[in-house]
């Protein structure tokens, strides 16, 4: 079974390839443009590790180039697509919306077009908890209205969801949407809280804490995320419109200030903090209802936050030695 993982040099893509490649019936293909949104060395280091895997191969490719994507699909007889390549991050979408339009909307359109052209068996794609915007009923269920995005990043992902639904409806293309809730873990993203906080504490620099650290996030350990992906790969929704959407979250929300405290405990160092107001586009709280996914796959993955952060800090110290 030939499986394509887009964004394979990225954080979740890297872990997804590692997990899927353990199944020797799978032949995994990775593509990524290795852009410089954050340190390219980290992306290359991830691919260096993946290079050693026998049933895996990497191609540097930009998903905004339809013709190259088309040739790639034809040549490699792709049967399943796990689409993770995107311009991630809420805050950057305030100042650079064009990157989100190009990579997340045009890029996604190319992926779904080519998936439909070659009649792939299952397209799984990354969405985000940001699509929920500001809600007042928690935990968040998949069926609530998502028509009021607070950022262009969220808007770009909502557009992916609606495009995918229409392709499922018109062409019966099996599509599964994964709404990820703040994913963290080793080889994580340097633009996200855990990596940023750890770096600032370690270098004794000032850490900016928005909304006094009262933001609440449903933190999800990356191994749990890839375990869910692994379980879903061969389970497209059997329905006349084969479209499904799942929250991928822990259902254990935590305030950012407590999250920071666990990081400090692991590093055995204290943060130097400046308290700032809430930022534009930010969501106050996320809290995933994960009953739907657990029922669908009849399994549950839920690494405790303390263990997950410890794993990250152990990796972080080793990686930056
Ligand atoms: N990490 C999270 O907490 C989180 C939360 C919600 C949603 N997501 C979504 O999950 C997916 C993976 O996120 P991640 O955290 O691994 O981010 P990441 O930035 O580490 O990975 C994305 C990868 O896609 C690549 N990419 C971007 N544009 C591309 C293009 N045009 N062509 C080819 N490759 C391209 C990047 O180089 C990068 O390596 C993204 O779609 C993101 O929006 C992540």
User: Is residue 315, in this structure, part of any structural domain at all?
Assistant: no
Centre of ligand 1 from the C-alpha of residue 89, in Å: 9
Q: Among 124, 180, 286, which is best to mutate for testing ligand 1, by the most ligand atoms less than 8 A from CB? A: 180
- The CATH number for 150's domain is 3.40.50.720
CA distances from 36 to 32, 186, 240 (A): 12, 20, 41
Residue located nearest, by CA, to atom 11 of ligand 1: 84
Please tell me the predicted confidence (pLDDT) of residue 175.
98
CA distances from 302 to 124, 139, 292, 299 (A): 21, 16, 15, 10
User: Is residue 261, in this structure, part of any structural domain at all?
Assistant: no
Q: Record the pTM.
A: 0.98
Centre of ligand 1 from the C-alpha of residue 11, in Å: 7
**pLDDT, tens digit, for every residue of 164-219?**
999 999 999 999 999 999 999 999 999 999 999 999 999 999 999 999 999 999 99
With tokens 């190319």, the residue in question is: 110
pLDDT at 266 over 90: yes
Q: Is 86 in the pocket of ligand 1 (CB under 6 A)?
A: yes
Cα separation of 94 and 99, whole Å? 11
User: From the candidates 56, 153, 167, 184, which is the catalytic residue?
Assistant: 153
Residue located nearest, by CA, to atom 44 of ligand 1: 180
Please tell me the predicted confidence (pLDDT) of residue 137.
95
**pLDDT, tens digit, for every residue of 51-84?**
999 999 999 999 999 999 999 999 999 999 999 9
Residue located nearest, by CA, to atom 19 of ligand 1: 10
Residue located nearest, by CA, to atom 2 of ligand 1: 183
**pLDDT, tens digit, for every residue of 125-160?**
999 999 999 999 999 999 999 999 999 999 999 999
User: Is residue 58, in this structure, part of any structural domain at all?
Assistant: yes
pLDDT at 48 over 90: yes
Q: Is 9 in the pocket of ligand 1 (CB under 6 A)?
A: yes
Residue located nearest, by CA, to atom 28 of ligand 1: 86
SS (H, E, C) the chain: CEEEEECCCCHHHHHHHHHHCCCCCCEEEEEECCCCCCCHHHHHHHHHHHCCCCCEEEEECCCCCHHHHHHHHHHHCCCEEEECCCCCCCCHHHHCHHHHHHHHHHHHHHHHHHHHHCCCCEEEEEEEHHHHCCCCCCCECCCCCCCCCCCHHHHHHHHHHHHHHHHHHHHCCCEEEEEECCEECCCCCCCCHHHHHHHHHHCCCEEEEEHHHCCEECCEEHHHHHHHHHHHHCCCCCCCCCEEEEEECCCCCEEHHHHHHHHHHHHCCCCEEEEECCCCCCCCECCECCHHHHHHHCCCCCCCHHHHHHHHHHHHHHHCC
Cα separation of 32 and 40, whole Å? 11
Residue 112's contacts (CB-CB under 8 Å, 6 or more residues apart) are 123, 163, 164, 167, 173, 175
Q: Is 69 in the pocket of ligand 1 (CB under 6 A)?
A: no
Centre of ligand 1 from the C-alpha of residue 81, in Å: 15
What is the number of structural domains in the chain? Answer: 1
Ligand 1 atom nearest 107 alpha carbon: 31
pLDDT tier for residue 283 given thresholds of 50, 70 and 90: confident
User: Is residue 72, in this structure, part of any structural domain at all?
Assistant: yes
Residue 174: phi and psi, rounded to 5, are -70, 115
Q: Is 15 in the pocket of ligand 1 (CB under 6 A)?
A: no
Centre of ligand 1 from the C-alpha of residue 268, in Å: 31
Q: Is residue 312 within 8 Å of residue 198, measured between CB atoms?
A: yes
The total number of residues written for the chain in this structure: 321
Centre of ligand 1 from the C-alpha of residue 304, in Å: 24
User: Is residue 53, in this structure, part of any structural domain at all?
Assistant: yes
Residue 2: phi and psi, rounded to 5, are -90, 120
Give the largest CA-CA distance in the chain.
Answer: 57
Residue located nearest, by CA, to atom 7 of ligand 1: 128
153 is catalytic: yes
User: Is residue 213, in this structure, part of any structural domain at all?
Assistant: no
Closest CA to 88 of 135, 30, 154, 163: 154
Q: Which residue range(s) make up the domain with 127?
A: 2-186+220-251+287-303
User: Is residue 155, in this structure, part of any structural domain at all?
Assistant: yes
Cα separation of 72 and 31, whole Å? 10
Q: Is 183 in the pocket of ligand 1 (CB under 6 A)?
A: yes
User: Is residue 312, in this structure, part of any structural domain at all?
Assistant: no
Centre of ligand 1 from the C-alpha of residue 103, in Å: 10
């Amino acid at each position: 079974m030939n499986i394509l993982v887009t964004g394979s040099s990225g954080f979740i893509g890297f872990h997804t390839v590692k997990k899927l490649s353990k199944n020797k019936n799978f032949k995994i293909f990775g593509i990524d443009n290795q852009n410089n949104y954050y340190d390219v060395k980290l992306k290359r280091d991830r691919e260096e590790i993946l290079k050693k895997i026998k049933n895996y191969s990497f191609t540097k490719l930009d998903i905004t180039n339809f013709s190259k994507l088309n040739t790639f699909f034809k040549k490699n007889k792709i049967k399943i697509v796990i689409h993770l390549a995107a311009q991630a991050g809420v805050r950057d979408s305030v100042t650079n919306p064009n990157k989100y339009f190009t990579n997340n909307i045009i890029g996604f359109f190319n992926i779904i077009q080519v998936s439909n052209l070659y009649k792939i068996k299952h397209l799984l794609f990354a969405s985000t908890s940001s699509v929920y915007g500001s809600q007042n009923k928690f935990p968040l269920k998949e069926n609530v209205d998502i028509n009021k995005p607070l950022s262009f990043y969220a808007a770009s992902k909502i557009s992916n969801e609606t495009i995918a639904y229409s392709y499922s409806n018109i062409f019966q293309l099996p599509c599964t949407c994964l709404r990820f809730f703040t994913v963290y873990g080793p080889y994580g993203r340097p633009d996200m809280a855990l990596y940023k906080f750890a770096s600032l504490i370690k270098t004794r620099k000032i850490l900016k804490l928005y909304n006094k650290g009262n933001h609440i996030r449903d933190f999800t350990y990356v191994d749990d995320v890839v375990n869910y992906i692994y379980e879903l790969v061969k389970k497209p929704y059997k329905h006349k419109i084969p479209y499904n959407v799942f929250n991928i979250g822990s259902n254990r929300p935590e305030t950012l200030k407590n999250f920071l405290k666990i990081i400090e405990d692991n590093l055995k160092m204290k943060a130097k903090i400046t308290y700032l107001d809430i930022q534009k586009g930010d969501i106050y709280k996320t809290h995933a209802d994960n009953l739907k996914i657990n029922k669908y796959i009849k399994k549950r993955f839920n690494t405790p936050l303390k263990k997950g952060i410890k794993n990250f800090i152990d990796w972080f110290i080793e990686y930056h030695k």
